[in-house]
Chains A and B, each alone.
Chain A
Amino acid sequence: MIEPMTLAIGGDIASIASLIITVIVFFQVRTIKASLLLNSRIPETIRDLESASDELREALKGWPDTELQAKATAQRIDGILLNFVPKLAGADRRKLKEVHTLLRRTKSIRYKLFPQNVSERKDAMWEVYLTLVGGVEVLRQRNKDYKKRV
């Protein structure tokens, strides 16, 4: 015969265990949802960043006449990354954050980090472009792996 006290303790343990399981499942569902949303957004982000990087390369061809155009494109890239980078994790995040940091650096006039002469400004923009295309490639590979898994 099981004593009522033992049954009560058993019930307490079971409810604590089920609470823990519920919390774990809640966080797992949240992670899966975030990952699904992120993966569905990646192809569109790749397209946007690719088109922006092509524009930036075109602007670099005509430097310094096209410097303003390059700055406008850089601003657009900054906007895309600002929204997208926080959703990434690990190496993907590091690579794209690097682009974001470089872009910020080219704009930091206040701290006198902004390259002053035309050739330095061009080199800085080239650095942004080359880091960006590397970052886009990281996303492309991630997308390829995801497609293979699905």
Chain B
Amino acid sequence: MPSERKLEQLIRLLIRETTEGKISWEASSPPRSRMTGTDDIIEEYFETTLKDQEVAVFERRYKGFNTDNESEYWTSDYCFAFLSDGAITWETEDSRLLFPLFKVAKESAADVDGILDKLLE
């Protein structure tokens, strides 16, 4: 398990560089290996490259189970992953900054600022 501090530092860097337009993200599909043998639903998956390292952030939707009233419910988590040759080599959900990163990655992939600038020209 890599140090939490280093991971947070990296995610902070990615949020800042993305906001400042120094890196951009692309919407993509999760690797097949990630989707095999699981009920997870990954509809939104974004990738970028930082210093030759491919990284991804995505929303994982899944069914949880409430033991109190014995019922199923839908929930989601945000994940961050390192990739190598298109396959996920490591992933984590352990950071408070994953949702903010997901949000900026989604904005970057959709080129929200570019579209707004174009429409308002």
Contact = CB atoms under 8 A, between A and B. Distances in A.
A binds B: yes
Interface of A: 53, 57, 60-61, 126, 130, 133-134, 137-138, 140, 144, 148-149
A70 to B, nearest CB: 13
A144 B75 CA distance: 9
Interface in B92-113: 96-100, 104, 113
B19 A148 contact: no
Contacts of A138: 96
B15 interface: yes
A130 B66 contact: no
A60 B22 CA distance: 14
Nearest to B113: A61
Interface in B76-121: 96-100, 104, 113
A133 B19 contact: no
Given A130-B12, A148-B66, A61 B96 contact: no
Kindly state the interface size class of chain B when it binds its partner: 10 to 19
Contacts of B16: 126, 130
A132 to B, nearest CB: 9
A134 B66 contact: no
B39 interface: no
Contacts of A148: 66, 73
A58 to B, nearest CB: 9
B70 interface: no
Contact of B99 (A126, A130, A137, A149): A137
A61 B73 CA distance: 38
Candidate in B19, B21, B100 with the most chain A CB atoms within 10 angstroms: B100
B20 interface: yes
Given A130-B12, A148-B66, A61 B100 contact: no
